[in-house]
Amino acid sequence: MFQAGWSRQEIQIEAKGYAMFGYGSWQHRAYKKRTPLYVRTVVIQDHQEKPLIFSCLDFGCITHAMRSEVLAELKKQMADLFCEERFVMTATHTHSGPGGCAYEALYNMPTPGFVPEHLHAVVYATVSSIQYAVKVLGRTEIRMSTTHFSEDVPVAWNRSLNAWNRNPDVQQRKETETHLAMNREMQLLGFYRDGQLHAFISLFGVHATCLGNTLNAHDGDNKGYAAGYSEQYLLEQGIHHPVAIFAQATAGDISPHFHGKNQLKIRQAIKGEQEYQYAQKNGRYQSEQALEALMKPGTVLSGELDAVLSYTDLSNVDIPLELSHGVKHARTSIPCHGVAFFAGTPVDGPGTAKPIVRVMSFLSQQYKKQKLKDRTADDFDFYQQLFASQGVKSILMESGIKRILGKPLGFAPGFIDPLVNEINRQVKAGAIRESPLVPSVVPLQMIQIGQLRIVCCPGELTTTAGKRVLETIVQNTSDQPIWLASYCNDYMGYVTTYEEYQEQAYEGGHTLFGQWTNAAFQLKFSALAQQLENTEAQRQHDRTTRPAEVPLQELLKRTNRGNLKTAVSE
């Protein structure tokens, strides 16, 4: 039997008017708190001294800044008892939580800028929750179980049906079947003492976007409400300090809003207070599904804890023929945002207006033709490889080299959009000369709890992309149970399948490293899984690679100290 402890700690961030993370909207600002935002942690220990730690935050994502700062504190406080490879930090992906917690520049732009007080609050809450969970470690039975939402439970729909139907390994679905173009399974780890459920972890993929981008309050959205309902239920059963974690599985193409005929009309009818009610209802569906399954006998986990973690440069992965559809010399590339990214999703988060999208697409294609026209140009080989990697994507921003349609950041007139204006200010201030816009070197992790393995991914995987990652691992390792958690340890955008990528819906436009990104995940996670099967002494995975340090002077220049209009000091 394992030792386990759990804890819940509120992230104390005051809503002062900064933009929230998720929709990338300058106007989506928080002026009040609707619900608390929590860090929920479960700590597990076996006969070894070093525990496995699983922390889930009511946040849009985890960043390298968040993880690295928490790691620094844990190493100080736990010393030799702490193992970085055994620490999972994940997020519910609420779009109604604070931003400004990244060292990289781009996803902080709406906030605007890096906000140290937000990061400090995250670190304090996360470390505090871990400390308390360690303090209350006790003999605990861990049970594994799965449950499926019945087809008539309106909990989730596929929002990119055309992309889904491009996959040869899925059942084709009609517009009336978007609720079936997904994985309706919820996976559960229950923590029991004296036969009673005290805490649990749920993995089920659905976006936390019940609440749209016109609201103005911090809120945990559907996953937060699911946790709150579950914890209240357990409290009423006499359980002291229960913890319910509703983490994400493959949520990349899954929406909590109806998708099908009249989808926009139906979504637009849900406004204001109704959006909160909708989020509560969606959370209750998840809570009731989990609790019903956890009251039944599950599979008791036994054995040891283990974990492996390795940082990978996703901009430079060579893809073998068996994963590249027979294409020779396939490889990933520097991160690039496509026009489809800026267009957004039609129901969950509409972006740039369609006429502007058409102009951007035209300009992108003209730019591509220009770069491939002159084979004697100094940069021809670079762009030939870039466009081969990015495929059909209409590239607007070459994020890895900080260019928009081939021009350096800062050239576009600021009146176009407040975000463009903020980019221009930061460029002029010299705040992003050497700093990355988005991460490229990201952590890939696998943990093992007895006979269960969990793949911990740093991005948003679509349903089928995640399925293929797991299938590749199983083909090359043992057939032990294996699950997938997303939004873990950092954020690197989306991961679609090769076929879905060709559709260039929002998810494909935000698959930054090109059409072979999922193949890179299959390759790297399969290799990592093989290392997990080796003894500690036999393991040879890369444990030294880490992201480059962000220039401190540049970070300071885009650090916000309370100005809601810009991060740059006037």
Domain span at residue 264? 3-310+440-538
Residue 329 falls inside a structural domain: no
Order of all β-strands in the sheet with 403-404: 337-338, 395-398, 403-404, 407-408
When pLDDT is cut at 50, 70 and 90, the band that residue 359 belongs to is very high
State residue 317's pLDDT score: 98
Q: Where are the alpha helices (DSSP H) in 179-272?
A: 221-236, 263-268
Closest by Cα among 219, 214, 200, 347 to 279: 219
Residue 570 falls inside a structural domain: no
* Ramachandran angles phi, psi of 338, nearest 5°: -90, 165
Q: How far apart are CA 187 and CA 177, in angstroms?
A: 23
Residue 19 falls inside a structural domain: yes
CA 16 from centroid of its chain's CA atoms: 25
What is the identity of the amino acid at 180? Answer: L
- Prior bond to 112 cis, omega within 30? yes
Q: Where are the alpha helices (DSSP H) in 141-272?
A: 161-165, 221-236, 263-268
| Digit-coded pLDDT (tens) for 34-46 | 999 999 999 999 9
Asked whether the whole model's pTM tops 0.95, one would answer: yes
What is the identity of the amino acid at 29? Answer: R
| Digit-coded pLDDT (tens) for 93-144 | 999 999 999 999 999 999 999 999 999 999 999 999 999 999 999 999 999 9
Residue 285 falls inside a structural domain: yes
H/E stretch holding 428 reads: helix 418-428
State residue 120's pLDDT score: 98
Q: How far apart are CA 50 and CA 134, in angstroms?
A: 11
Specify the number of domains making up the chain. 1
Is the Cβ–Cβ distance between 20 and 97 less than 8 Å?
yes
Q: What angle do CA 526, 530, 534 make, to 5 degrees?
A: 165
State residue 528's pLDDT score: 97
**What is the residue-wise DSSP string for 460-528?**
EE-HHHHHHHHHHHHHHS----EEEE-SBSS---EE--HHHHHH--HHHHT-TT-TTHHHHHHHHHHHH
Contacts of 248 (CB under 8 A, 6+ apart): 90, 91, 92, 93, 203, 204, 205, 206, 223, 485, 486, 487
Q: Which residues are annotated as a binding site for Zn(2+)?
A: 93, 207, 460, 494
State residue 416's pLDDT score: 80
For residues 342-360, give the mean pLDDT: 93
Residue 466 falls inside a structural domain: yes
When pLDDT is cut at 50, 70 and 90, the band that residue 502 belongs to is very high
Q: Where are the alpha helices (DSSP H) in 44-113?
A: 64-78
| Digit-coded pLDDT (tens) for 433-446 | 999 999 999 999 99
Q: Work out the mean pLDDT of the chain and round it to a whole number.
A: 96
Q: How far apart are CA 555 and CA 567, in angstroms?
A: 10
Regarding predicted confidence, which is higher, 404 or 569? 404
State residue 183's pLDDT score: 98
Q: How many CB atoms lie within 10 A of CB 195?
A: 6
Q: How far apart are CA 157 and CA 255, in angstroms?
A: 5
State residue 48's pLDDT score: 83
Residue 220 falls inside a structural domain: yes
Q: Is the pLDDT of residue 570 over 80?
A: no
Residue 341 falls inside a structural domain: no
Q: Which residues are annotated as a binding site?
A: 93, 207, 460, 494
State residue 143's pLDDT score: 98
What is the identity of the amino acid at 554? Answer: E
When pLDDT is cut at 50, 70 and 90, the band that residue 264 belongs to is very high
Residue 266 falls inside a structural domain: yes
Regarding predicted confidence, which is higher, 479 or 58? 58
Q: What angle do CA 127, 89, 402 make, to 5 degrees?
A: 115
Reported as half-sphere exposure (CB side, CA atoms, 13 A), residue 187 has a value of: 16
Residue linked to tokens 């006998």: 297
**Which residue numbers are catalytic?**
255
Q: How far apart are CA 449 and CA 140, in angstroms?
A: 13
Q: Is the pLDDT of residue 232 over 90?
A: yes
Q: Is the pLDDT of residue 374 over 80?
A: yes
Structure tokens at 110: 């709406």
| Digit-coded pLDDT (tens) for 45-56 | 998 889 999 999
